[in-house]
């Protein structure tokens, strides 16, 4: 019971790695509070998580909604022990695609702005909302979802990689700013992980992912959740400003 009774907030907690993280923390005794934009999935997740869990429909782009969520949690529990900034999306496209000297396709401004708003500004919004409470209570853990793509780069993901690289930078800044208050800030960088997003991909693409991963398989959401659990626990009490790769050994682009 490594996180027994710790009030743990998880964004994007209704599916994929977020749900696996919520389940893992619940197993270890946490009071789990998830948010997501998908109400149906969120309600279903809470049924699986049990009595010490709750769901809020929150869009992390909306600063007021995020603030209201945090205040409601504080009113209910009096504290926030762990924040997992997991919510994120993909809108992949090439920067520019040319044919016969003409631009035939490119990443749109809408695709760029949407991914930035959720994956990067959403992390900023949630962390800024929860930090004052953690400072007042003199402790806390903030965990941010980045990606091996944010460290290595990947074709067709200008927007996504801008956010995931940015999250790494913010993680290091916040570790410095908040360490004096006994608040630890770390990031987890998953590799190719078998979530709902991958299920829609062609089999040859999935096989290519496996072939490029030295361990020869895709990661499981629970394996990423285990990394979050470790970093949230007292076992990681002297770890801050770190980026933990959970990727089967992959280096993207090789």
pLDDT 10s digits, 130-144: 999 999 999 999 999
Average pLDDT, integer, range 42-60: 96
> Is pLDDT at 254 greater than 60 in this prediction?
no
What is the pLDDT at residue 191?
92
Average pLDDT, integer, range 36-65: 97
Average pLDDT, integer, range 101-124: 97
In a domain, 240, yes or no: yes
Average pLDDT, integer, range 154-171: 96
What is the pLDDT at residue 154?
87
In a domain, 252, yes or no: no
Q: Tokens 């396709």 correspond to what residue?
A: 105
What is the pLDDT at residue 112?
98
The catalytically annotated residue of 77, 160, 181, 228 is 160
Contacts of 53 (CB under 8 A, 6+ apart): 22, 26, 31, 32, 33, 34, 45, 46
In a domain, 2, yes or no: no
Average pLDDT, integer, range 29-46: 97
Q: Are 206 and 198 in contact (CB under 8 A)?
A: yes
What is the pLDDT at residue 253?
64
In a domain, 1, yes or no: no
Average pLDDT, integer, range 225-247: 98
In a domain, 137, yes or no: yes
Three-state secondary-structure class, residue 140: strand
Among 191-195, 207-211, 224-228, 238-242, where is mean pLDDT lowest?
Answer: 207-211
Name the token pair of 156.
């067709």
pTM of the full structure: 0.94
Contacts of 42 (CB under 8 A, 6+ apart): 13, 14, 34, 35, 36, 55, 56, 57
In a domain, 254, yes or no: no
Q: Are 183 and 139 in contact (CB under 8 A)?
A: yes
Three-state secondary-structure class, residue 115: helix
Note down the domain range covering 39. Answer: 7-246
Q: Cα–Cα distance between 98 and 109 in angstroms, integer?
A: 18
Q: Is 181 a catalytic residue?
A: no
In a domain, 194, yes or no: yes
Q: How far is CA 152 from the centre of its chain?
A: 18
Is residue 207 exposed (0-12), middle (13-18) or buried (19+ Cβ within 10 Å)?
A: exposed
Q: Cα–Cα distance between 179 and 238 in angstroms, integer?
A: 10
The domain that holds 169 is classified in CATH as: 3.40.50.720
Domain count for the chain: 1
Q: Are 114 and 63 in contact (CB under 8 A)?
A: no
In a domain, 69, yes or no: yes
Q: Are 143 and 85 in contact (CB under 8 A)?
A: yes
| Per-residue pLDDT band at 82 (split at 50, 70, 90) | very high
| Per-residue pLDDT band at 128 (split at 50, 70, 90) | very high
Question: In 97-187, which residue ranges form alpha helices assigned H by DSSP?
Answer: 109-115, 122-137, 148-152, 158-178
Q: Are 9 and 235 in contact (CB under 8 A)?
A: no
What are the phi and psi torsion angles at 80 (to 5°)? -130, 120
What is the pLDDT at residue 206?
83
| Per-residue pLDDT band at 203 (split at 50, 70, 90) | confident
**What is the average pLDDT score of the chain?**
95
What is the pLDDT at residue 197?
74
């Amino acid at each position: 019971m490594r996180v027994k009774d710790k009030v743990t907030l998880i964004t994007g907690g209704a599916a994929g790695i977020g749900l696996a993280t919520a389940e893992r923390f619940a197993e270890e005794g946490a009071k789990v509070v998830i948010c997501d934009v998908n109400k149906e999935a969120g309600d279903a997740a809470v049924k699986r998580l049990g009595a010490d869990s709750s769901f809020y429909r929150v869009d992390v782009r909306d600063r007021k909604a995020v603030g209201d969520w945090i205040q409601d949690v504080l009113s209910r529990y009096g504290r926030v022990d762990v924040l997992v900034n997991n919510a994120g999306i993909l809108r992949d496209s090439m920067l520019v695609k040319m044919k016969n000297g003409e631009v035939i396709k490119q990443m749109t401004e809408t695709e760029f702005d949407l991914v930035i708003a959720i994956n990067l500004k959403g992390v900023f919004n949630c962390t800024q909302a929860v930090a004052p409470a953690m400072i007042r209570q003199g402790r806390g853990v903030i965990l941010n979802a980045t990606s091996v793509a944010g460290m290595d780069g990947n074709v067709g993901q200008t927007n996504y990689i801008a956010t995931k690289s940015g999250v790494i930078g913010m993680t290091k800044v916040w570790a410095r700013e908040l360490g004096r208050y006994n608040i630890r800030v770390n990031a987890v960088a998953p590799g190719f992980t078998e979530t709902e997003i991958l299920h829609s991909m062609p089999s040859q693409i999935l096989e290519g992912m496996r072939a490029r991963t030295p361990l020869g398989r895709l990661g499981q959401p629970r394996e990423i959740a285990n990394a979050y659990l470790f970093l949230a626990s007292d076992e990681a009490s002297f770890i801050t400003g770190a980026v933990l790769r959970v990727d089967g050994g992959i280096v993207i682009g090789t």
